[in-house]
Amino acid sequence: MIANLGVATICAVALSLKQDLRIFVALGAALAEAAADTVSSEIGQAIGGTPRLITQWAHVPPGTDGAVTVAGTAAGIGAAVIVGGVFVFRTPFGWHEFIVCASAGIAGTLADSLLGATLERRGLIDNNTVNFLSTLVASSLAFLIV
């Protein structure tokens, strides 16, 4: 749970201490990445077709760290957009913040696949670390862009 929601929790605590739109968008991006990663993994393994390793584009078995499918990627993008949309309609986000939130969530999911294909496959980090780092990438990108 800390791996997927730790960065969002840190953002929420920071937001309670300082009301800053950048922190709020970073929180949304962390949640968008976590949702996109989960959805893309599940859909990709269930109906995604032949997975490919993101770094070499070689065919790999389903469940391989760093593997992606078209269906899984599309589902992940949809999840990030949905989370960004919820933030637009339920918070002070505008459309610019929505785009940043969803885009950073998608970028974080791609970072997740890259980390999985490189560091996790080599046994240098585990899946929890990959998840934590990918939400950190998403939130950091959002914070810097807004």
Phi, psi of 24 (to 5 degrees): -65, -45
Q: pLDDT tens, 52-96?
A: 999 999 999 988 999 999 999 999 999 999 999 998 888 777 899
Alpha-helix residue ranges (DSSP H) falling in 18-69: 21-47
pTM above 0.75, yes or no: yes
Q: pLDDT tens, 97-143?
A: 999 999 999 999 999 999 999 999 999 999 999 999 999 999 999 99
| Residue 59, helix vs strand vs coil | strand
Domain extents in the chain: 2-145
Average pLDDT, stretch 35-54?
A: 93
pLDDT surpasses 80 at 1: no
Alpha-helix residue ranges (DSSP H) falling in the chain: 2-17, 21-47, 70-90, 95-115, 127-145
